[in-house]
């Protein structure tokens, strides 16, 4: 059994600039059969076999799906992973994002002035809380926000700081203010991304900074297409709509601008594989990644296909 045409709500304008000239460039698949196991979610599993196109906005270069599933709470249901404590613990101790975390903290340390002595940081989608422990160590008064109750509780316990279990729009409504807000590997998963970016921007103190890391949609599409030509690899990045937003450097800067922020977009640091226990494959892969990063962070490098991930810093405009 599969879904019919009414299973999707079409999207007729670009989520970033509102442009209506949208050109298809990739077809993604739904493969959700595993949700049939243990009677987990038959309505979700029914989307298996369906396809959907990604379209690129001719005006700003942003990529997004041509439609979204009509199924209520599709994304909540997709991410309803029953994380056990052992898995969360492994994530907390995993070092693969440490270079990303330390480069964000060093950049924020430079950009956020310590005017009143207190620097408050919010980590959005805080996961197991590893970044929160780094931020606290770097002298930030840090807090997290995380929807998953298990990871939220784990992060609060292990980082020893408050972790709000709610969405960012609800937190913004409480009137909280931060000197820095960090969103790492989260925004690519959220439909209509401008709403979240605007909510976060509203929580910044004057001259506060929003740091956003996302994959570069245009560079990733080129990488996947090249791999597909050379091997039997099929581009899977957008399958099941795991990634809904496919930013280019320009459309990311534009999204921040629309939320009232002055943006700088640079090449983001790469994830690195653990070297303990030592593995030659990991060592070679890390050398390659660091080499590409070195080239892609040179002036102009962010606009080349070598910039596989983007890091934006947005400062609240003076009104």
List interacting residues with Zn ion (CB under 5 A). 14, 16-17, 19, 57, 59-60, 62
Q: Are the C-beta atoms of residues 124 and 168 closer than 8 Å to each other? A: yes
Identify which of residues 179 and 245 has a Cβ nearer to Zn ion in the complex.
Answer: 245
Pairwise CA distance, residues 65 & 315, whole Å: 29
Question: What minimum distance in Å lies between the beta carbon of 12 and Zn ion?
Answer: 12
Four-residue CA torsion sign, 163, 166, 172, 173: negative
Identify which of residues 26 and 158 has a Cβ nearer to Zn ion in the complex.
Answer: 26
Q: How far is CA 205 from CA 47, 112, 143, 233, in A?
A: 43, 10, 15, 46
Identify which of residues 144 and 215 has a Cβ nearer to Zn ion in the complex.
Answer: 215
23 three-state secondary structure: strand
- Taking the alpha carbons at both ends of the chain, their separation in whole angstroms is 54
Q: Are the C-beta atoms of residues 178 and 204 closer than 8 Å to each other? A: yes
Question: What minimum distance in Å lies between the beta carbon of 242 and Zn ion?
Answer: 21
Identify which of residues 104 and 194 has a Cβ nearer to Zn ion in the complex.
Answer: 194
Report helix, strand and coil shares of the chain as percent, to nearest 5: 40, 25, 35
Question: What minimum distance in Å lies between the beta carbon of 253 and Zn ion?
Answer: 12
Identify which of residues 19 and 301 has a Cβ nearer to Zn ion in the complex.
Answer: 19
Question: What minimum distance in Å lies between the beta carbon of 62 and Zn ion?
Answer: 5
Identify which of residues 77 and 250 has a Cβ nearer to Zn ion in the complex.
Answer: 250
210 three-state secondary structure: strand
Pairwise CA distance, residues 129 & 148, whole Å: 12
Question: What minimum distance in Å lies between the beta carbon of 219 and Zn ion?
Answer: 18
Question: What minimum distance in Å lies between the beta carbon of 306 and Zn ion?
Answer: 24
Place of tokens 């560079």: 219
Tell how strand 261-267 and strand 204-215 pair up: unpaired
Place of tokens 């050398």: 287
Question: What minimum distance in Å lies between the beta carbon of 193 and Zn ion?
Answer: 12
Identify which of residues 59 and 167 has a Cβ nearer to Zn ion in the complex.
Answer: 59
Other beta carbons within 10 Å of 118: 9
Pick from 254, 239, 260: nearest CA to 14: 254
């Amino acid at each position: 059994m599969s879904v019919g045409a009414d299973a999707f709500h079409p999207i007729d304008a670009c989520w970033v600039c509102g442009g209506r000239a949208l050109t298809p460039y990739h077809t993604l698949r739904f493969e959700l059969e595993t949700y049939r196991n243990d009677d987990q979610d038959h309505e979700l599993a029914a989307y298996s076999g369906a396809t959907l196109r990604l379209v690129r906005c001719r005006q700003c270069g942003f990529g997004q799906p041509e439609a979204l599933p009509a199924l209520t709470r599709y994304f909540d249901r997709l991410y309803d992973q029953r994380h056990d404590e052992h898995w969360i613990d492994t994530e907390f101790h995993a070092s693969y994002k440490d270079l990303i975390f330390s480069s964000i903290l060093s950049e924020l340390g430079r950009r956020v002035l310590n005017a009143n002595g207190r620097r408050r940081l919010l980590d959005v989608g805080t996961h197991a809380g590893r970044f929160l422990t780094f931020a606290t160590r770097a002298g930030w008064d840090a807090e997290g926000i995380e929807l998953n109750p298990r990871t939220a509780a784990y992060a609060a316990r292990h980082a020893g700081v408050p972790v709000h279990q709610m969405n960012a729009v609800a937190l913004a409504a409480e009137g909280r203010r931060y000197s820095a807000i960090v969103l790492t590997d989260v925004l690519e998963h959220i439909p209509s991304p401008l709403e979240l970016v605007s909510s976060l921007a509203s929580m910044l103190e004057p001259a506060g900074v929003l740091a956003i890391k996302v994959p570069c949609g245009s560079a990733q599409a080129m990488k996947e297409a090249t791999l597909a030509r050379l091997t039997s690899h099929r581009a899977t990045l957008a399958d099941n709509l795991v990634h809904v937003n496919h930013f280019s450097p320009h459309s990311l800067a534009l999204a921040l601008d629309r939320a009232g922020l002055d943006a700088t977009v640079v090449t983001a640091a790469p994830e690195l594989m653990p070297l303990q226990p030592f593995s030659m494959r990991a060592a070679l892969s890390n050398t390659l990644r660091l080499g590409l990063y070195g080239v892609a962070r040179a002036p102009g490098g962010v606009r080349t296909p070598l910039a596989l991930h983007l890091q934006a810093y947005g400062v609240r405009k003076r009104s």
